[in-house]
Structure 1
Amino acid sequence: MTNTQLTLIQIDNYGPWTVTPEPRREMDLQTLQSRLFADLAQFVGSRDGYVFFTRFDNMVAVTNGLDRTDHELMQESIRNRYPVTLSLGVGVDEVPVEALERATEEIQLAGSAQDGDRREVLGGEFYTGSATGDLNIAHFDVNDATGKYTDRLNEFDSFIHIEQGYASLMRHMREAHGALSFFVGGDNIISVCPSLTESEYRSAIEHVESEVGVELKVGVGTGESAHVAGFAAKHALEDCRHRGTDVEFEAAPAQVSDD
């Protein structure tokens, strides 16, 4: 049985801040957002979690293994170094989207994202289990993206094809299974999933190819943290490449290198 702990990271009062006392330069905002994401990725990643940028003013983190103290330290670290603060909601469930719903409610009940009086909310539940298979991470990759797109099309048209594949997969995995899928650059998509069968992953791949003509393969890993499960998924994806298969599973090894 999977138990996914998700943290919704939301910048407090960010919309009004970007135009107060007057609209701020767009590249200054983009720089702040990218640096904030990088710092959060480093903080959570050093504790074996994953962070996904979604809309940048909102981010989603897989935080199995991080407790309340870790979340408080995250808020303190950002408060001390940035002109903005973070509210954090935490949820746990077998189905990732349900965990995110719980995390979202914790923040929404405390006030609007544009409420100037809401600061550094921290609410929700933290998973305390210790089973080795608590997380399922699926790492999807576009088949021969370089040959089909990068080396043949201009970058914007390549981007359109990749994004169409991502949008189709993201929608299917959420609606069919309650899984959450995130674009992580290049032609890679990472999904946080409940326990799914090989046929269910294969069905997702077939759906994307049928809907938008993008061919995918996927490696699936399990483990007690996002890093451990994700590393196993990377190895499974390499098995797909070597074997010419579409779906491969790999359980996490007893220990995972930090390299």
Structure 2
Amino acid sequence: MTNTQLSLIQIDNYGPWTVTPEPRREMDLQTLQSRLFADLAQFVGSRDGYVFFTRFDNMVAVTNGLDESDHELMQESIGNRYPVSISLGIGVDPSPVDALETATTGLQRAGSAQDGDRREVLAGTTLAERERTPTDLQIAHFDVNDATGKYTDQLNEFDSFIHIEQGYASLMRHLREEHGALSFFVGGDNIISVCPEMREEAYRSAIDHVEGDVGVELKVGVGVADDVQEAGMVAKHALEECRHRGTVVEIETPRPDVELAED
């Protein structure tokens, strides 16, 4: 059974800050957001986690293996180097969307995202080390079939982008509504989904749905592990198996006798 730990990263009072004392230059804001995402990705990534940018002022991180002190250090590091601070909500659940709901509720109870008095909130509880298992995370790495041949080498970049984004939108809605999974566009023609325990039939159904809905053909490699970095790498290798075998779904799971290594 999966047990996903998600952290919602929310910039404190960001909307009002962008127009105080007067509206700030858009490219300055884009630069700040991209640098902030890069620093958070490096911080969380160095601790075997993932960060997804979503709307940039709100980001979602998979943080299995990070404890409260790691989250506090993340806030301190950003507060020391940026003109904005971040609040963090943490949720743990077999269902990724329920974990995110818990993380979100914790921050919402502490105050609005545009509340000038709400700063560096840390809400929620992390997954205890003793409760971690080798199957806590199921990560699916989706890829568009022959995106270069069908889109990049045939259409202008904007029309190519439309096709890829339509596939992403169809997939993320289907997986969210049918399975409680969370999907994130990560560039090129790649989508990473944080999933509950799902079987091959569910992934095939999702791929068929996207093709029928928007005409975009996908394949997916799925990995299972105790942290998202390992599960993600297993998923990448499974995706390569799809390319090698000409299949659309490949799932790699840990052997039943695999246990977490002792510190």
Assess same fold via TM > 0.5.
Answer: yes
Corresponding position of 2:173? 171
Query: Is the partner of 2:197 in helix, strand or coil?
Result: coil
Structure 1 runs of 4+ with >4 Å offset: 252-255
Q: Report the TM-score when normalising by structure 2.
A: 0.96
Deviations 1:97-138 (A, max 9, x none): 000000000100000000000000001011122311110000
Q: Report the TM-score when normalising by structure 1.
A: 0.97
Corresponding position of 1:64? 64
> How is 1:237-252 mapped onto 2 (pairs within 5 angstroms)?
237-251=239-253
Distance of 2:230 and 2:192 partners within structure 1: 14
Q: 1:251 deviation in Å?
A: 2.6
Distance of 1:203 and 1:67 partners within structure 2: 36
Instruction: State the Cα RMSD in Å.
Output: 1.1
Is the CA contact 1:229–1:252 (under 8 Å) kept in the aligned structure 2? no
Corresponding position of 1:182? 184
How many residue pairs end up in the alignment? 255
Deviations 1:43-72 (A, max 9, x none): 000000000000000000000000000000
State whether structure 2 residue 227 is matched by structure 1 residue 225.
yes
| Partner amino acid, structure 1, of 2:225 | G
Q: 1:250 deviation in Å?
A: 1.2
Question: Given the alignment, which residue of 133, 143, 146 partners 1:144?
Answer: 146
| Partner amino acid, structure 2, of 1:22 | E
| Partner amino acid, structure 1, of 2:93 | D
Identity of matched residues, %: 79
Deviates more, 1:122-131 or 1:39-48: 122-131
Corresponding position of 2:217? 215
Structure 2 unaligned regions, length at least 5: none
| Partner amino acid, structure 2, of 1:240 | C
Structure 1 unaligned regions, length at least 5: none
Distance of 2:96 and 2:103 partners within structure 1: 11
Corresponding position of 2:122? 122
